[in-house]
């Protein structure tokens, strides 16, 4: 956490802590596919992470409002894992210095249920 704090103090402008943290985490996870797989296994998110041949990490990916919502969704981190033609999607939402938006996690769950269509 000390590195995070030191980097934040180097920034001259006002920047939301959550966005700064998100970009650092996404960068670190994206430095190595093997590191990402090791981390996903360590946190027990996937059982067999080494079946994935490659991955892609994006931040603040916009999802248009679902049918019964008025606002778009912007999960902090979107991880795509690829195993041949199969794709696994993981959304990560950080809560650093901010609260949950209206129905935010419900919207994200619904996005995951229809994400195969985009």
pTM of the predicted model as reported, rounded to 2 decimal places: 0.79
> For the chain, what is the largest distance between any 2 Cα atoms, rounded to a whole number of angstroms?
44
In three state form, how does the secondary structure of 26-70 look? Answer: HHHHHCCHHHHHHHHHHCCCCCCHHHCCEEEEEECCCECCCCCCC
pLDDT value of residue 108? 85
Return all residues near 61 (Cβ < 8 A) that are at least 6 apart: 74, 75, 78
Could you tell me the strand order of the sheet in which 77-83 lies? 54-59, 77-83, 86-92
pLDDT tens sequence across 59-76: 998 888 888 878 888 889
Q: Domain limits at 66?
A: 2-117
- What domain count does the chain have? 1
Q: Name the 3-class secondary structure at 95.
A: coil
């Amino acid at each position: 956490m000390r590195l995070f704090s030191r980097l934040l103090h180097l920034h001259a402008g006002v920047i939301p802590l959550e966005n700064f943290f998100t970009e650092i985490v996404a960068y670190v996870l994206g430095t190595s596919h093997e590191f990402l797989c090791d981390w996903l296994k360590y946190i027990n998110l996937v059982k067999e992470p080494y079946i994935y041949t490659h991955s892609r990490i994006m931040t603040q990916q916009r999802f248009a409002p679902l049918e019964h919502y008025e606002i778009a969704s912007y999960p902090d981190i979107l991880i795509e894992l690829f195993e041949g033609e199969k794709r696994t999607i993981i959304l990560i939402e950080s809560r650093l210095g901010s609260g949950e938006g209206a129905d935010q996690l419900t919207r994200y769950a619904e996005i995951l249920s229809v994400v195969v269509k985009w």
